[in-house]
């Protein structure tokens, strides 16, 4: 999944929202956004907004509720872009 076309962009979006005690090199496709990366719910909303802007897509509340891991986010992005 690290070769996924949008992985680097999504990782770049997530990085500013990581708490200082989280090592950015630990971000992987199966990383859980809240449980492992300690991204709080307010920052998750910010990530969703940044994803919408960067990929020019619209994410619904249901999309955000399904976004548990980096790979979940990539799957949702692909679906919205019609790449599935």
Spell out the domain ranges in the chain: 7-13+27-81
Tokens for 13?
């979006």
CATH number of 7-13+27-81: 1.10.1200.10
DSSP conformational letter for 84:
-
| Token pair 């249901």: residue | 62
pLDDT tens for the chain, 84 residues: list them. 445 789 999 999 999 999 999 999 989 999 999 999 999 999 999 999 999 999 999 999 999 999 999 999 999 999 999 875
> Model pTM?
0.89
**Residue pLDDT, tens place only, 41-58:** 999 999 999 999 999 999
DSSP string over 51-62: HHHHHT----HH
| Backbone φ, ψ for residue 55 (5° rounding) | -100, 0
Structure token pair of residue 81: 């872009």
């Amino acid at each position: 999944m690290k070769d996924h076309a949008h992985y680097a962009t999504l990782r770049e979006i997530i990085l500013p929202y990581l708490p200082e005690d989280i090592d950015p090199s630990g971000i992987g496709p199966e990383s859980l956004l809240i449980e492992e990366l300690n991204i709080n719910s307010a920052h998750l909303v910010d990530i969703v907004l940044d994803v919408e802007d960067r990929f020019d897509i619209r994410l619904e509340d249901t999309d955000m509720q399904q976004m548990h891991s980096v790979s979940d986010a990539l799957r949702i992005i692909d679906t919205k872009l019609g790449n599935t």
